[in-house]
Amino acid sequence: MRSLLVSVLVMFSLASAPLAQDADPGIVHYQLDNGLEVILAPDARAPKVVLNVAFKVGSMNEPPGRSGFAHLFEHLMFSGTPAYPNIDAAYGALGVSLNAWTYEDETVYYEEGLSSSLPYILALEADRMANQGQAITQEDLDIQRAVVLNEMRENVLDTPSGAGWEGFRSALFPPGHPYHRPVLGSIADIKAAGIEDVHGFFATYYVPNNAVLSLVGDFEVETAKSLIAQTFGLVPRGAEVTRPAAAPVEPTRARLALEDVVAAPTVNLGWVTPPEASADSGALRLAGELLGNWEYGVLKSPLVDAGLATDFSIWIEDGVLASRFFVEITVSDGVEPADVEAAARSALEAFAKGPIDSADFERARRKLLQDDKLSVEPFKTRAEELILAATSQGQPQAAVLPDPRLVSATPDGVLAAVRSHLALVDASTMILTPGARGSYPAVLTESSGTSEPFAVTEQPSIAIPALAAEEPVPGTLPLRQEAVLGNGISVVHYQVPGAPLTYIAVGAPTGTTSVPPGKEGIVEMAASMAPRGAGERDFASFARAAKDLDADVNSTWGLRGAFVTLSVPAENLVAGTALLADAVQRPRFDAEEWDALMEETLYSLEQRDEELQDLARRVAESQIFPTRPGEPANDRSIASVKGLQLAEAKDFFARLFAPKGLTIYSVGPMPVADVAAALEPSFGQWSTADEPLAPRLRPSAVFPDQQRVVFLAKPGASQSAIFVATPARASKNPALVPR
């Protein structure tokens, strides 16, 4: 990219105007003469780029009778133009990945590829902006309508609680409010859409003066500006687009009682809160963290610890016109939802009265600030967050700087925001109980009203220059560095300068294929207990100690290994490794935490049997990886997990993470010597008499001599899921089995 079109740079005068001065000099923010807003964020750490083009049109722009149209149009934008009739194939030839998302406020198109592909990506995307809409045919519409209806079935109607949540989100806003319409729309409206709507929608909303482009990655700013001017700069400005405005919403105080194929009842509370750009946004985020942190949040003691709930969570869905604040609680077996709702309301009422513990408040603030910082490390997320910050706050750099609303927040300010926006009398409620599929809310099935046709205007074709990709420049991988601790444990490290955290994984070489028959699930259960209390600290105290270091201790597992992990800033590495050592060497295995984990796990296993795609995969795998005598089954089951005991899981953990079999892996900004020095005090002298478990590879797949078809009936499902398996070698490594 650095040498691309040097002569053009000399000759070409960029038609653009700078926008507001950015606090971060690394971000360039300007506007083309045709109104396209451009955000450039160069980052040379990897030879790749991510391009996002966001159009300020979503479900909130849809007229009556055309709900779901913005999402349908998102799919239609992949139909191909005369210059690029097969967009997937065009990008696939360069290894460029692409996707798109529709929200209530905007539709975002995303491309990610090598830096060398940038000229090609910009030319293709500019051509789509200029010429895609009028190229869409009735056949394209019919094909994508079927795809969207299938997506509705797969992601909503056949997903446990999916339809209920769409209805609940809608019910928070009165009919007529732009957010009352679900993003996916209604089946009736999608079926009624016509080709004239398609062309009119494109002409109205898919214009450069209604769009924002963000580019993140390895590029030269002046070269990128020139390329954007040569391509997107040729697309003519459209008529001005007015975004919907909504008056403050009066609480609907809706109460829904719905059924679905869920494994347990859930109690759900929801409020309409101010838009993302509001001054109270930071205070409400802090309230959500203080209340909803699953390790030690305010709701944990009166709900989970009291045996009323299996799990709970809190999240905020931000919007330009308003936001939604949700509380979701999974009811424990044998408990009445009404009792859970009463306990939750009582806990929320007590929280609103205050005071807030100052240590918990600062812990929550640091966690959210770090979450924000880490979330924009990937180019993909950063590209979208820059656009969101530009459209909601007018300043894209807000996406990469500490949120001043979090920095300046106070405990009293959080309580004031809770009392103002989360009054219990204003909460809407959804009680979702186990039952049959089919109780779908009207917003998903019935028409949203009598439609008015879009004005269709003829648009001339715009010739966008076809730009070729450059020769790819290989990336430089971090070097593998190694060390050995005093007790012989190997440390494998990859140094990545500038990494925001150090990541450490204590790895056992045995995974879920190495368990005794009938004990399927013991790896998952044993490893999950590691961070749920260790040493002298119970679960909540251990989690708080980690957060005080801006760290996180967790666990993960797979077919061939299990890991206890740490993420921590470099300055807290020594203290963080001491916590990690407690989790690996001295996990508490407290009975109450085991019981809570057992309930969580059984709930998730019951719930997954209603996920058609996952169920089809597991049924297929059970056929081609049959259980052999003396070997564990292919997957854990409700029966095998129920049969596990706390004492045997603790003994199993000691062998799973016996020091003789471990390797410690790390990635971070410092050299391996610094990592080893931090690990040595906590791990270097550790020894036990436990013999590590013997690794066992998964057996080869077994295929019959002829085709086999297996059917599993799921009454009430709106579609079928098909899983096809055929033999293939998984790797060039001959030691790995074919599957």
pLDDT in tens, 552-584: 999 999 998 999 999 999 999 999 999 999 999
Per-residue tokens: 318: 């931000």
Record the pTM: 0.93
Task: Tell me what pLDDT residue 484 has.
Answer: 98
Task: Tell me what pLDDT residue 174 has.
Answer: 95
pLDDT above 50 for 14? no
- What's the average model confidence in pLDDT over 687-709? 86
Residue 349 pLDDT grade (very low, low, confident, very high; cuts 50, 70, 90): very high
Q: Residue 113 contacts by C-beta under 8 Å, 6 or more apart in sequence?
A: 48, 49, 91, 94, 95, 96, 97, 121
pLDDT above 70 for 140? yes
Q: Within 10 Å of residue 179's Cβ, how many Cβ atoms? A: 27
Who wins on pLDDT, 402 or 706?
402
pLDDT above 90 for 698? no
- What's the average model confidence in pLDDT over 513-523? 94
State the Cα–Cα distance between residues 455 and 437, nearest whole angstrom.
40
Q: Within 10 Å of residue 526's Cβ, how many Cβ atoms? A: 26
Residue 37 pLDDT grade (very low, low, confident, very high; cuts 50, 70, 90): very high
Over pLDDT 90: what percentage of the chain?
81
CATH of 480-683, one of 3.40.50.261, 3.40.50.970, 3.30.830.10, 3.30.420.40: 3.30.830.10
Task: Tell me what pLDDT residue 728 has.
Answer: 74
Secondary structure (3-state) at 520: coil
Task: Tell me what pLDDT residue 24 has.
Answer: 55
Which tens digit of pLDDT belongs to each residue from 68-85? 999 999 999 999 999 999
State the Cα–Cα distance between residues 29 and 575, nearest whole angstrom.
41
pLDDT above 90 for 416? yes
State the Cα–Cα distance between residues 670 and 499, nearest whole angstrom.
9
Task: Tell me what pLDDT residue 723 has.
Answer: 86
Per-residue tokens: 685: 């002298």
**Contact indicator for 226, 194 with CB cutoff of 8 Å:** no
- What's the average model confidence in pLDDT over 367-376? 96
Q: Give me the residue spans of the domains in the chain.
A: 6-234, 262-368+388-434, 480-683
Find the length of the chain: 739
- What's the average model confidence in pLDDT over 206-235? 98
Task: Tell me what pLDDT residue 736 has.
Answer: 61
State the Cα–Cα distance between residues 385 and 39, nearest whole angstrom.
11
Q: In what order do the strands lie in the sheet with 309-317?
A: 255-260, 428-434, 266-273, 323-331, 309-317
CATH of 262-368+388-434, one of 3.40.640.10, 3.30.830.10, 3.90.550.10, 3.40.50.2300: 3.30.830.10
Task: Tell me what pLDDT residue 735 has.
Answer: 63
Residue 731 pLDDT grade (very low, low, confident, very high; cuts 50, 70, 90): low
State the Cα–Cα distance between residues 72 and 592, nearest whole angstrom.
48
Who wins on pLDDT, 695 or 728?
695
- What's the average model confidence in pLDDT over 235-255? 92
Kind and range of the H or E run holding 492? strand 490-495
Which tens digit of pLDDT belongs to each residue from 143-152? 999 999 999 9
Task: Tell me what pLDDT residue 730 has.
Answer: 65
Q: Residue 592 contacts by C-beta under 8 Å, 6 or more apart in sequence?
A: 305
pLDDT above 80 for 6? no
Which tens digit of pLDDT belongs to each residue from 621-647? 888 888 888 889 989 999 999 999 999
**Contact indicator for 120, 464 with CB cutoff of 8 Å:** no
pLDDT above 70 for 592? yes
Residue 17 pLDDT grade (very low, low, confident, very high; cuts 50, 70, 90): very low
- What's the average model confidence in pLDDT over 198-213? 95
Which tens digit of pLDDT belongs to each residue from 98-125? 999 999 999 999 999 999 999 999 999 9
Residue 189 per-residue DSSP state: H
Q: Residue 639 contacts by C-beta under 8 Å, 6 or more apart in sequence?
A: none
Q: Within 10 Å of residue 442's Cβ, how many Cβ atoms? A: 12
Secondary structure (3-state) at 664: strand
593-604 b/e (C-beta count within 10 Å ≥ 16 → b): bbebbbbbbbbe
Which tens digit of pLDDT belongs to each residue from 286-320? 999 999 999 999 999 999 999 999 999 999 999 99
Tell me which amino acid residue 704 is.
P
Per-residue tokens: 588: 């508490």
Task: Tell me what pLDDT residue 13 has.
Answer: 29
Kind and range of the H or E run holding 641? helix 638-642
Task: Tell me what pLDDT residue 25 has.
Answer: 55
Which architecture characterizes domain 6-234 according to CATH? 2-Layer Sandwich (3.30)
Which tens digit of pLDDT belongs to each residue from 643-680? 999 999 999 999 999 999 999 999 999 999 999 999 99
Task: Tell me what pLDDT residue 452 has.
Answer: 79
